[in-house]
Amino acid sequence: MIQARVTVYPRREILDPQGKAIGEALSRLGFQGVVSVRAGKSFEIELKTAEVGVARRQLEDMCERLLANTVVEDYEVEILDEDGR
């Protein structure tokens, strides 16, 4: 069993209205020194396989084919160990 996390963010060069709005909202709430906010998606995926290598390839394939829209989004795959760190 492998716990993994996939994070999908809008590409840097593409402006991110949601992140912008959240940044503004945070300042309105009085939070000082927020330089930038990027808003993305996070997927926690549990896989049957035990092989990290296999899992990683599978997850990257999932991103290319479904989880991320590579036209406007970048993705990142992390394998978490048992206790989900």
Partner 1 sequence: MKVGVVVFPGSNCDHDVYHAFSHVLNSETVFLWHGDETVQGCDLVVLPGGFAYGDYLRAGALAALSPVMAAVRRHARDGGLVLGICNGFQVLLETGLLPGAMRRNQGLRFLCQDVYLRVERNDLPFTSRLQVGQVLRLPIAHAEGNYEDAPERLDALEDNAQVVFRYCAPDGSICAFDAELNPNGAARAIAGITNPRGNVLGLMPHPERAAEAILGNADGLALLAGTIASFAPSASPPAASPKAEEVRA
Partner 2 sequence: MSEPQASSPRPAPPARANEPTVTAALAAERGLSAEEFELLRGILGRDPSWTELGVTSALWSEHCSYKSSKVYLREFPTSGPRVLQGPGENAGVVDVGHGWVAVFKMESHNHPSYIEPYQGAATGVGGILRDIFTMGARPIACLDALRFGEIDAPRMRHLIDGVVRGVGDYGNCFGVPTVGGETAFHRCYNGNILVNAFALGVARHDEIFTARASGAGNPILYAGSRTGRDGIHGATMASESFDAGSESKRPPVQVGDPFTAKILLEACLAAMKTGAIVAIQDMGAAGLTSSTFEMAGRGGTGMRLDLEKVPLREPGLSPYEMMLSESQERMVVLARRGREEEVERVFRRWGLEIAEIGEITEDGRALLCFAGETYADIPIEPLTEQAPVYRRPTAPPADLAARWEAPTLPDVGHPIETLQRLLDTPDFGSKRWIWRQYDHTVRTNTVRGPGGDAAVVRLKGTPSALALTADVNPVYCQLDPERGGMQAVAEAVRNLACVGAEPVGLTDCLNFGNPQNPEVAWQLQQSVLGLSAACRALDVPVISGNVSLYNETQTDAGLQSIYPTPAVAMVGLIPLLKTLPESHFDQAGDRIILLGRDREEFGGSAWLRLLHDLEQGRPPQVDLDTERRLSQLLRELIGAGLLSTAHDLSEGGLGIAAAEACFGKGLGARLEVSSPLELFSETQGRALVACPPAHSIEILRAAERHGVPAAEIGEVGGENLEFAVGGENFRAPVARLETIWAQALPKALGL
Binding residues vs its own copies (CB under 8 A): 1, 5, 7-9, 19, 22, 25-26, 29, 31-49, 58, 61-62, 65-67
Collapsed DSSP state (helix, strand, coil) of residue 25: helix
Q: Which amino acid is at 73?
A: E
Say whether residue 17 binds partner 2 (CB under 8 A).
Answer: yes
Say whether residue 25 binds partner 2 (CB under 8 A).
Answer: no
| Rama region for 18: left / alpha / beta (φ>0; ψ in -120 to 50; rest) | alpha
Residues that bind partner 1 (CB under 8 A): 10, 13-14, 17-18, 21-22, 25, 28-30, 39, 64-67, 69, 71-72
Taking CB within 5 to 8 Å according to partner kind, which of its own copies, partner 2, partner 1, none is near residue 77?
Answer: none
- 44: Cβ contacts below 8 Å, ≥ 6 apart: 3, 4, 5
